[in-house]
Amino acid sequence: MKKIWITALFLFGLSALAGAKPGTVLLNAAGATFPYPIYSKWFDVYHSAHPNVQINYQSIGSGGGIRQLQAGTVDFGASDGPMTDEQLAQSKVKILHFPTVLGAVVPTYNISGVGGDLNFTQKALAGIYLGQITKWNDPEIAKANPGVKLPGDDIVVVHRSDGSGTSYIFTDFLSKISPEWKSKVGTNTSVNWPVGLGGKGNEGVTGLVKETPDAIGYIELIYAIQNKIPYGKVQNAAGKFLKADLAGVTAAASGAVKDMPADFRVSITNSPGPASYPISSFTWLLIPAQIPDAAKKSAVTDFLKWMLTDGQNYNESLSYAKLPAPVIAKEQKAIALIQ
Amino acid sequence: MSDLRLAWRKGLNVVMLTLTGVAAFAVVAVLFLILGYLIWNGGKSLNWDFFTKLPKPVGETGGGMANAIVGSLKLLFLAAVIGLPVGLMAGVYLAEFGGKTFSFVTRYTTDLLNGVPSIVMGIFAYALVVLPVKHFSTLAGGVALAIMVVPVTVRSTEEFLRAVPASMREGSMALGASKWRTIARVVIPAASGGIITGMLLALARVAGETAPLLFTAFSNRYWSEGWSQPIASLPVMIYTYAIAPYEDWHRQAWAAGLVLLALVLLANLGCRLVLNRRGNYRSV
Amino acid sequence: MATSATAMDRAAPPESGLRAFVHRWRNGDEVAHVITLVFAAGILLITSLLVYELWINSSLSRSKFGLMFFWTRVWDPVAGDFGALPFIYGTLVTSVVALVIAVPLGLAAAIFLAELAPRTLSDAIAFLIDLLAAVPSVIYGLLGIFIVVPLMRRVIGPALKSTLGFLPVFKGPNYGVGFLTAGIVLAIMVVPFIISVSREVLLTVPREQREAALGIGATRWEATWQVVVPWARTGIMGSVFLALARALGETMAVTMVIGNDPKIVTSLFAPGYTIAAVIANEFTEATGNLYLNALIELGLVLFLMTFILNGLARLLIVATERGGGHPA
């Protein structure tokens, strides 16, 4: 018995000393599920090019990313809802926002007999999520889709159960198009949803919609594509029904590019212009302005530089739009702010 | 009239007794269903990659859970090294030295600790180990699991020590051995079979725990080095993959479920068989 | 210990003061006593620390909401308004559903194993059922998502609606996830505990009781149901409390099938939320200290609920084993 304990303790002590290989930089990050597919691709590719840098990203939702960054348990965070002034004030260290990609939030659904391209008016989306439109064959939905056979079933609304930047983008859009939504529910990563089931992460919502007949949910574009589920067209500010794609998202961002604030926090939902996809958004990496560990700091700044140049080449294959060139230039200058 | 009543009573007798048999076999059938479904779905998905490769980026098929398997083993190792000695020593105290009130209080507290929901253990380990050092770590996960290992170990150690016949103790003391020598050299070895199986059962129980790891060990896409980095574990991977929409992740979740269940059931099977043979079997 | 005069009795007179203290330390027994005592005390320390941490880290929420926390239905992170009622409701409803399914099933199976089955078969089945108790929660969740939820949606839900659809608990749309599904999964998880403990308790009922009943002409069933089971009823109650305590704290399996919606609805098909599930989902992202404190306060509530139940359960089981459970 004694021998076993002694050997165990010895091994334990030995491995505690082992630690990380010298020269390996381990970065822990957490946050948004919206850009998770592109981030996991990036970190993987970056790791192959720089084997001594490991970036462990956990997609726990934007709320989680902000929280863990504030608590200091991760080296950087990610969120599609920019941090509010209060949240920034609460943080001990100054936090910098770096846009990474442009993405789209799409309404996905699971109605038997109905394929892709269902048209959703702005009123329809607001009404469904407010719990006022309860059946698929409601006139508000039917009138935008002549010729489509909509069942009289109850709509199963799905939203996020966790603190989500995708929720932020979606509720931001709803607040802009529906004064009732704005006053009753508001814009945030986590709101008091009037109706619906909660799924965890973009992954959870996609899973629920996929498995539940008559469901509707809002997810990032790539999740709909990768899982081959139908998603609808959304009516934009100019009244046109657009399906989410790279061109629509880029058009939505073009207006904001000129007036991009220095801290990069900007909303591009419901942008004017006939070609703008209405539920578009930047997504940001949240980087502390001060990183005491020199190795970590150089790993982070190197990654950011790589992300703004080579990294952008991976965006489109995963259906995220590239950052506009003026934004990239601004960010490259902003990297110098990281001390 | 009384004939009718008798017939009714006899009929009721047969019906109710049959129902109880049905209930028992229904429960057993559920067990076989669970095992069967897991073996079928998990078995299909198990391949060499699963045991040797790291997870792939989101949306790509393939990859495996090698880091999660090693991660679970590391966490169990910590739980064992930290929790088992505490449980053993406390069990020895209760069985051999305990004063009346203090023993009662300790036993009651141990039972209390045993009943604490695992998610609350997670909160505790977060407040204790993660917050002060400001990162998720294997150590934090190990501590959470270690605390859960203690109560079961204490109880089983105490029970098996008590079961050692008084004659052995007295014989040892009559030969001049002091009390502690008796305990160390005679009583514990005599009870060792039961004590070790109790420890293995405790470890098997925490091997499947997910909730306490969610915000202590967190998770890791890569190999976790040392003890102060987040680490992947089988239960957390199963959870993450099961609620995601990717078919490939579902496949891997089944495989992981099979591996986890196989480990837990084999440990339980082995331990209980040993205990049964010794005739010291006691449930719960 | 020996009381007759031995060589030991003729030892030197009892030592006093410092010398005694030092000599005691050279005596291995004292050392062993102290060391093991320290570990045992360590358990008390850990538990006190646990309660302390839960208490301290929920202070913001406790001072802001006070006792109204238990009565508020709202869970609004945006407005900073938190209430525990939806989660307490969800926790209780899922547990009650689980017990309603598991207790009759478990008791019936336990009766079969204790009274009817030949001893070897009974032992073998009890063994297998104990294995069921060892299956990790996340695996039940896995099976819940991929088997029970579709089953609920396609088979069980429609069947219930067509037969009992007039009851308010079975009204409303059927999503597959929800209170009922969570209750079913929980039932499967706690049934082994009920069977295992009830069977043991039934086996301790003295043979004379059964034989007396049979002797006056009772059928097997009557003897069991009207004599044996009441004799063991405190122990059986204990097993139910144990099962309830387990069901209340269950996290993973429930989170995966309950639908994650903090609402209080009568329909069992509706999505709900439990205390454990909301902590698991929202802990890592609770922005702001009030939010985190509210979650930890929920953890404290859960801790208290399971504490009380476990205490009662132990009392009942011990009472049966000691006094034969004769109705008080």
Chain C: closest CA distance from residue A49 (Å): 31
Give the angle A202-B218-C51 at the CA atoms, nearest 5°.
115
The conformation of residue B233, written as its DSSP 8-state character, comes to -
Q: How far apart are CA C126 and CA B272, in angstroms?
A: 11
Q: Which helix (H) or strand (E) holds B237?
A: helix B234-242
The reply to whether residue A28 touches residue B229, judged by beta carbons under 8 angstroms, is yes
Q: Which secondary structure element, helix H or strand E, spans residue B102, and what is its range?
A: helix B100-115
Is the CB of A198 less than 8 angstroms away from the CB of C177?
no
**C106 shares contact with chain B (CB less than 8 Å):** yes
Q: Is C226 on the interface with B (CB under 8 A)?
A: no
Pair B217, B67: CB distance under 8 Å: no
Q: CB within 8 A of A324, min separation 6: which ones?
A: A250, A253, A254, A257
Residue A74 in contact with partner chain B when CB distance is under 8 A: yes
Query: How is chain A split among helix, strand and coil, in percent rounded to 5?
Result: 40, 20, 35
Q: What is the pLDDT of residues A202-231, one digit of tens each?
A: 888 998 898 888 999 999 998 998 888 999
Question: What confidence score (pLDDT) does residue C1 get?
Answer: 46
Highest mean pLDDT among B55-59, B73-77, C16-20, C206-210: B73-77
C175 touching A, CB under 8 A?
yes
pLDDT one-digit tens code per residue, B247-280: 888 889 999 999 999 888 888 888 877 776 654 4
B81–chain A Cβ distance below 8 A for any pair: yes
pTM above 0.90, yes or no: no
Interchain CB contact of B132 with A (< 8 Å): no
Q: Hey, is the C-beta of A6 within 8 angstroms of any chain B C-beta?
A: no
Say yes or no for a CB contact (<8 Å) between B150 and C127.
Answer: no
What subunits make at least 3 CB pairs under 8 angstroms with C?
Answer: A, B
Q: What is the CA radius of gyration of chain B?
A: 24
Give residue B281's pLDDT. Answer: 39
List chain B residues with CB under 8 Å of A41: 57-58
Nearest in space to A178 (alpha carbons), one of A270, A50, A58, A109: A270
Q: CB contact, 8 Å: A301 with chain C? A: no
Confidence of residue A156 (pLDDT cuts 50, 70, 90): very high
- Closest Cβ opposite residue C285 in set A162, A191, A213: A162
DSSP conformation class of A235: E
Closest CA in chain A for residue C176: A212
Per-residue model confidence as pLDDT tens digits over C113-129: 998 889 899 988 888 88
Q: ipTM for the complex?
A: 0.84
Query: Is C221 within 8 Å of B13 when comparing Cβ atoms?
Result: yes
Query: For A100-116, how does the pLDDT look when each residue is reduced to its tens digit (9 = 90+)?
Result: 999 999 999 999 888 87
Q: Which residues of A touch C78 (CB under 8 A)?
A: 186, 188, 190-192
Question: CA angle, corner C229, sides to C225 and C235, nearest 5?
Answer: 160
- Is 60 exceeded by the pLDDT of residue C2? no
User: Would you call B18 an interface residue with chain C, using a CB distance cutoff of 8 Å?
Assistant: no
Contacts of C288 in chain A (CB under 8 A): 87, 90
Would you call B36 an interface residue with chain A, using a CB distance cutoff of 8 Å?
Answer: no
Chain C: closest CA distance from residue A317 (Å): 30
- Inter-chain touch A203–B135, beta carbons under 8 Å: no
Q: What is the mean pLDDT of residues A20-45?
A: 86
**Which chain A residues are closer than 8 Å to C177 by Cβ?**
197, 208, 212
The pLDDT-based confidence of A70 (bands split at 50, 70, 90) is: confident
Cα B170 from chain centroid (whole Å): 35
| pLDDT for the residue numbered C11 | 53
pLDDT tens digits, one per residue of A71-95: 888 999 999 888 888 888 888 888 9
What is the rounded average pLDDT of the residues A260-277?
A: 89
Identity of the amino acid at B102: F
Residue B80 to residue B213: CA distance in whole angstroms: 16
Closest Cβ–Cβ partner in C47, C130, C136 for B260: C136
Which of A73, A222, A319 should be substituted to probe chain B, the one whose Cβ sees the most B Cβ atoms within 10 Å? A73
| Mean of pLDDT values over A45-74 | 88
Residue C205 has pLDDT above 90, yes or no: no
C-alpha span between B109 and A247 (Å, rounded): 64
For the residues of A62-126, what is the DSSP string, one character each?
HHHHHHHHHHT-SSEEEESSPPPHHHHHH-SS-EEEEEEEEEEEEEEEE-TT--S--EE-HHHHH
CA distance B223 to chain C (A): 22
**Unique residue bearing structure tokens 């305590």:** C245
Task: Give me the amino acid identity at A283.
Answer: T
